């Protein structure tokens, strides 16, 4: 069987249709959520909204978080 050359957009469209045919609309959405790549650079963008936190402060924050998680917790009140 001869294969025709498909442009990237055609491959994407046909691939998504194949996933939808096999998994249904909900499965397609879940597939996309699992495998779609973002278009931003989190590491670079993070310094625009949180530039003051360096490695040392990050380590201190993680250690405080872990220590807080190890503390015994009061049981939750049951809903009436």
When pLDDT is cut at 50, 70 and 90, the band that residue 41 belongs to is confident
Structural domain including 26 reads: 8-70
Assess if residue 3 is contained within a domain.
Answer: no
Whether 1 is in a domain gets the answer no
Query: pLDDT at position 3, please?
Result: 66
Look over the chain and give the mean of its residue pLDDT values, rounded to a whole number: 83
Residues 53-73 pLDDT 10s: 788 888 999 999 999 988 887
Report the pLDDT value the prediction gives residue 45, as an integer from 0 to 100: 78
Interacting residues of 30 by C-beta distance below 8 A, sequence separation 6+: 23
Q: Look at residue 23 and tell me if it is in a domain.
A: yes
* Torsion angle of C-alpha atoms 36, 39, 41, 46, degrees rounded to 10: -90
DSSP helix/strand/coil, 1: coil
Tell me the mean pLDDT in the region 21-41. Answer: 85
Q: What is the spatial distance between Cα 59 and Cα 61, in angstroms, rounded to a whole number? A: 5
Indicate the number of domains in the chain: 1
pLDDT of residue 58: 86
**Is residue 76 a part of any domain in this protein?**
no
């Amino acid at each position: 069987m001869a294969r025709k050359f498909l442009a990237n957009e055609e491959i994407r469209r046909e691939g998504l249709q194949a996933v939808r045919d096999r998994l249904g609309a909900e499965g397609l959405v879940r597939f996309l959520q699992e495998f779609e790549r973002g278009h931003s650079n989190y590491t670079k963008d993070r310094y625009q909204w949180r530039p003051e936190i360096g490695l040392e402060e990050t380590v201190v924050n993680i250690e405080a978080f872990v220590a807080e998680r190890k503390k015994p917790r009061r049981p939750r009140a049951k809903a009436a």
